[in-house]
Structure 1
Amino acid sequence: MKGVNRDMLKCRSWLSLINGDIEGAQETLKELALEDANSVDSYFAAGVLMRVRGDHARAVHVHNSILEWENLDRGLARLVALELMEDYYAAGDFKCVEDNYHRAEHTERAAWLRASAVENQARYEEAAKLWEKMGGHGADAARCWLKLALGNRGENEADMVKFARKALKADENCTEARFELARHYLGRKKKQKAVDEASEIVRRDLVKSYEDMGKLEAFYYEAGEVDALHKLVFSRIAAKSSNQWIYVYAAGHFLKKENRDKSIEILDYYMKNHGYDTAVVRTYAEIIEEPVLLDVFSHDLYRCRECGERFNEDHELCPGCGGRDTLRKL
C-alpha cells in the first residue's frame, strides 16, 4: 500500500504542475516526503518549487539537507549541488554560489553561475577570465573587460586602452570598446586611428542607435572626415546592410539637403529588403507626414540596445535583460 500511495502522490504533484498549481504541487511533495523519508526526488523537486515561488531560504535548506544524506549517489549529489547554487543565485547570495561550485563538480551550468556571481560582485577581471576559460562566452568576457575600461576612463587612459583591447579580443564586435578607443585616439590627435576604429563600427554593422550615429558623425567631424563617413554609410546601404540606423541616418542626411525623395527612396529600400523596423517606419512617417502612422508613434517607444526588447516607457534597468541605462528612444 505504501508504494501505491507514494505513486499516487507523485501523480498528484505532476498534475498540479501541469495545471500551473505550484503551491498544490509543493504541498503534495511535502506529503510525499513524509510518506517516504528516503524519497530524494520528492525533496529535490520540493526545493526547486520553493525557489520558483521565491522562498529561497527554504529552498536552500531543503537542498542542503539532501546533500547531508548518507550514501547519496554522486551524480545526484552533483545535481542537487547545482540546484543549491541556483537557489543562492536567485537569492542574490553570490558568495555562497562560489562556495558551492566545487560540490557541483565543475559542470557547465555551475561554471556559468560562478562566473556570473563573480561579475555580480564587481570582480570584473576575474569574471572576464572565467568567461574566457569557459569558451563560447566572448560577449560576456568583453562586457567585463569593458567595465574595467570604463572604470579607468580619464584617470588611467593606458589601462583603459589595455582593457578595451582585451574586450575586442574577446569579442571583436564590442561596439562600446571601439567607441572608447576612437575617443582615446581622437583626444590624442591620432585622427586616423580614431577614424579607423569608428569606421569598423559602421563596416561591421555595430551601430545600435541613432545616438551611435551621432557619436560617429562627431568623431568624423572633429577628424575632418565627414565625407568619408557618408561614403561609408552609402557603401553599406549598397551592400544591403540590415542595420536600420544606417538607413535612418542616411535619410536624415538627405532630408537636411532638402532631398525628400531620396530620403523616402532609402527608407523604402530598407523596408523592401529587410522588413518594417520601428525606427525606419517612424522616420518614414515623419517624412511623408502620414497622420495615421504619426498617431501610432505619438507615444515614445524605447528599445534596449542589449537585448532588443521594446517598451512604451523608459526604465533605468531593462525589464527584459536587466541592463542598466540600455534603453534608447526610437
Structure 2
Amino acid sequence: MSDPALLGLFFVAVGLGWLLGRGGIPGVAPRSLWRASLPSQYYRGLNFLLDGSQDNAIDAFTRALEVNSETFDTHIALGNVLRRRGEVERAIRIHQNLLARPSLPAAQLHLAHLELARDYISAGLFDRAERLLLDLVSESGNHRRVAQRHLIEIYEAQSDWDSAREVAEALLPKKTLLTQPAVEADEVGQPVNLILAHFCCEQAESPQEMGDLSAARKLLDQALKYDGDCVRASMMLADIEFRTSNFSRSLKLLKSVQDQDADFVPETVPALRACYSAIDKRPQFRNYLESCFRARPSTMLVLAIAQELSDTESPESAKQFLRESLREKPTLRGLAMLMSLHDADEAGTDEALEVDIIQRLVSARSLYRCQHCGFKAQQLHWYCPGCKHWGTIKEQGALGEFVHA
C-alpha cells in the first residue's frame, strides 16, 4: 500500500479505536457485542496494520464496526482506501453494504450511491455507474453537479459526444436578472465552456470527414461561442475555409491562434504555408513566422523558419539561421536539421552516422507533454489520456525548451 493510503488507513483505525473506546454510540443502547467482540476485532486489525498486513487489517476493521449513521464515514473511508489501492471489488462490497441499510439518512445514502458509482467507473462498469449517477442527478441536490461531472467522464470514455454535451450544457451557469453566477469555486474539473467547445469539435469531425462542411461549420461556430480561445475549433474552421477556396478567411482563422494560445502556433505552420502560397504572398509567411518566434520562441518555429529560408532563399541562409539559434539554445532537432543541410564538402567522414544517431535520439524523445499531468506523447492529442483534460498537451519546445527574451 502506498504511504498516503497507509496513513489514511491508520487514521481510520484511530477513529475506530476512539469510537470503540467510548463503549458505544451516543443515543444507541449498549450491546454485548460492543462490550466484548468488537474491541478484540479492533485490536486484531491494529496489529495487522502495524505488521504490514493491510488486507487483514481492513477486513478486521470492517467487521469491528456495524453500519449506522455514526460509523458511516468510517466505512466510506475504508471503501475509498480500497478503491485507491485498485481493489475495486472490495470497495464495491463495502459501499453496497451501506446501501443495504435503508435506515440511514437520505444524505448518507446519496453519498454511498456516489462512492459506489465511482467504484463502478474505476472498474469500467460504465452502465451501472451511469444508472446510479442519473438517479443522483434527479434526487440529490447536494451531489448533482458532482454526479454530472462523472457522467461526462463516462460519456467521454464512450465517445458519446451528444450525451456528454447535453450533460455539460446543464452545468452552465444560469443567467438571472441580477447576476450571472460562476461555476462553484470548489468544483473539480476544467471550465464547462472549455470542455463544451471540445465536444462540439468532436461532433464536427464526422461531418467534416464526410464532406458535410455546412454541418461541421455550424458545430465549430458553436464551439467558439462556448470558448472564444478554442484553438482546435479555429484550426478546424480554417481547414474548412481552405477546402472551399476561402483562403483569406482561412488565413485569418489560423493567425487568430496566436492570440488564443501562442503555444499552438507551430501546429498551424503547414496550413499557413498553404494559405500564403494560395494567395501568392509566400514572402509574408516567413515574416509572420519570425514575428511569432520573437513573441513565443519554440523549436518547431526554428525548424519552420529554417525550412522556409532553405526553400525560398538558399540552404546557406537556413544554415546560418540555425547556427545562430543553436548557439543561443541548443536542441537536438535543430542540430539534426543543420547537419542534414551540409553538402559533401562540409560533411565529415562519419557525419552520415552522426545524423542517423541524432535523428534516432530525436525520434525516441517525446515531442509533446501535458501541462497538467506531464503525460508525454509523440504527436498532438487534444484529450490527455492521463489526466482527462482537454487542450493541455503541447509541444515541449513551447514549454521551456526556449525562454522569452
State the TM-score, normalized to the length of structure 2.
0.63
Which residue is equivalent to 1:281?
331
CA distance in 1, matches of 2:48, 2:103: 26
| Contact preservation (8 Å) 2:41, 2:61 | yes
Query: For residues 10-35 of structure 1, what are the alpha-carbon distances to aligned partners after superposition, in whole Å with 9 as ceiling and x for unaligned?
Result: 6557658xxxx6xx333212112223
- Secondary structure of residue in 2 paired with 1:63: helix
Which residue is equivalent to 2:240?
184
CA distance in 2, matches of 1:302, 1:145: 28
Query: For residues 288-327 of structure 1, what are the alpha-carbon distances to aligned partners after superposition, in whole Å with 9 as ceiling and x for unaligned?
Result: 5499898565331233476663368999x9774579xx99
Amino acid at match of 2:248: Q
CA distance in 1, matches of 2:305, 2:163: 42
Structure 2 spans left out of the alignment, 5+ residues: 1-34, 173-182, 184-190, 340-350, 398-405
Which residue is equivalent to 1:276?
none
| Contact preservation (8 Å) 2:264, 2:394 | no
| Contact preservation (8 Å) 2:326, 2:335 | no
Amino acid at match of 1:185: E
Which residue is equivalent to 1:121?
158
| Contact preservation (8 Å) 1:233, 1:250 | yes
Instruction: Note the C-alpha offset of 1:157.
Output: 1.4
CA distance in 2, matches of 1:25, 1:68: 26
Find 1:247's aligned residue among 293, 302, 316: 302
Aligned length, in residue pairs: 311
CA distance in 2, matches of 1:267, 1:149: 41
The root-mean-square deviation of aligned C-alpha atoms, in Å, is 3.9
Which residue is equivalent to 2:342?
none
- Label 1:225 to 1:137 Cα distance change in 2 as closer, same or farther (>3 A): farther
| Contact preservation (8 Å) 1:252, 1:263 | no
- Label 1:28 to 1:249 Cα distance change in 2 as closer, same or farther (>3 A): same
- Label 1:56 to 1:33 Cα distance change in 2 as closer, same or farther (>3 A): closer
Structure 1 spans left out of the alignment, 5+ residues: 272-279
Which residue is equivalent to 2:126?
94
| Contact preservation (8 Å) 1:248, 1:267 | no
Deviates more, 1:243-252 or 1:140-149: 243-252
Instruction: Note the C-alpha offset of 1:191.
Output: 1.7
Find 2:292's aligned residue among 236, 243, 250: 236
Which residue is equivalent to 1:142?
197
- Label 1:314 to 1:121 Cα distance change in 2 as closer, same or farther (>3 A): closer
- Label 1:231 to 1:192 Cα distance change in 2 as closer, same or farther (>3 A): same
CA distance in 1, matches of 2:272, 2:49: 56
Which residue is equivalent to 1:298?
360
Instruction: Note the C-alpha offset of 1:127.
Output: 1.2
Larger Rg: 2
CA distance in 1, matches of 2:44, 2:279: 73
Query: For residues 165-190 of structure 1, what are the alpha-carbon distances to aligned partners after superposition, in whole Å with 9 as ceiling and x for unaligned?
Result: 22222333333322221121122222
Which residue is equivalent to 2:56?
27
Find 1:265's aligned residue among 302, 315, 324: 324
CA distance in 2, matches of 1:36, 1:196: 66
Instruction: Note the C-alpha offset of 1:92.
Output: 2.0
- Secondary structure of residue in 1 paired with 2:331: helix
**Which structure exhibits the higher relative contact order, with contacts defined as CA atoms closer than 8 Å and separated by 6 or more residues?**
2
Query: For residues 185-224 of structure 1, what are the alpha-carbon distances to aligned partners after superposition, in whole Å with 9 as ceiling and x for unaligned?
Result: 1222222111111111244445648664223322332343
Which residue is equivalent to 1:152?
207
Structure 2 residue 106 is matched with structure 1 residue 77 = no
- Label 1:108 to 1:47 Cα distance change in 2 as closer, same or farther (>3 A): same
Which residue is equivalent to 2:272?
216
